[in-house]
Amino acid sequence: MRIAAVQHDIVWEDREANFARLAGQVARAAAAGAELVLLTETFSTGFSMTPGIGEPEDGPSARFLAARAAEHGVWVGGSCPEIAPLDGGEDAERLPYNSFVLAGPDGTTHRYRKLHPFSHGGEHERFRAGEGPVTVTVGGLRITPFICYDLRFADVFWRAAPDTDLYVVVANWPAARRLHWQALLQARAIENQAYVVGCNRVGTAGDGTEHAGDSRVVSPMGELLATAAGAETLVLADVDPAEVTATRDRFRFLADRRG
């Protein structure tokens, strides 16, 4: 399967502007043969914690992803602030989740909610935490998505490893800690013997945070299959679940894991 990570800038808190900018980039990824196209964390708003930034499930961001998936016949995913429905409650008064939404060309939609709000930046005060990993099988490839700060917590990657061929990590990772991003993506691939794709934004956020991109695809052996620097671009690579199986068969490390 060909994967495309769309490394893009984000217009702060302007969904329509971001939809307009990203539609063409998804189209270019599909034209390049990608079957799975990834946008960044909070691709439609930026990493904003402004009260009221949340949207309903199946709101404008999820509809954008679904429309692009249907238009191009590909899977499209990215994260956005979503308020989950609550029976008998007022949804508008609830904190949103940072949700990774994966939309398929057949109209199906899957969600993963960020497990680890970024408390260092106050995300835990504005966003709810999810409950656990989610794995989706697409064309025989078992995909487990995570979001940004989740990358620092190896244990959740470990738990998902037996059922994962490809980890997806979408992010607004700051340039000040770019070496951590690069090292941890490779570490998660090596220790779990699975592909890892990191899709990070570029540009300056509304709060002044700089982002360096450094999107990449890492093989189950930790090799860099495709990388990007600090500009808007597509990162393309082909991944094969058979390579994960072969790597784990040659080096049977996972069976020795404890905890």
Which ranges in 199-259 belong to alpha helices (H)? 241-250
- pLDDT at 180 exceeding the cut of 80: yes
- pLDDT at 238 exceeding the cut of 70: yes
- pLDDT at 90 exceeding the cut of 90: no
Residues 26-83 pLDDT 10s: 999 999 999 999 999 999 999 999 999 999 999 999 999 999 999 999 999 999 999 9
- pLDDT at 1 exceeding the cut of 70: yes
Both structure tokens of 255: 């069976």
| Residue 120: exposure state from Cβ atoms within 10 A (0-12, 13-18, ≥19) | exposed
Check residue 84 and give its pLDDT. 86
Under the phi-then-psi rule, with left for phi > 0, alpha for psi from -120 to 50, and beta for the rest, what region is 106?
Answer: alpha
- Residues 41, 55, 57, 123: which is the catalytic one? 41
Averaged pLDDT score across all residues of the chain: 95
State yes or no: is 41 an active-site residue. Answer: yes
Check residue 89 and give its pLDDT. 52
- Residues 35, 55, 57, 148: which is the catalytic one? 148
State yes or no: is 16 an active-site residue. Answer: no
- pLDDT at 258 exceeding the cut of 70: yes
- Residues 55, 57, 114, 199: which is the catalytic one? 114
Check residue 88 and give its pLDDT. 45
- Write down the pTM of the prediction: 0.96
State yes or no: is 148 an active-site residue. Answer: yes
Nearest to 8 by CA among 238, 235, 167: 235
Check residue 85 and give its pLDDT. 82
- pLDDT at 137 exceeding the cut of 50: yes
Q: What superfamily in CATH does domain 2-256 come from?
A: Carbon-nitrogen hydrolase (3.60.110.10)
| Residues recorded for the chain | 259
CB 41 within 8 A of CB 73: no
The mean per-residue pLDDT over the stretch 178-186 comes to: 98
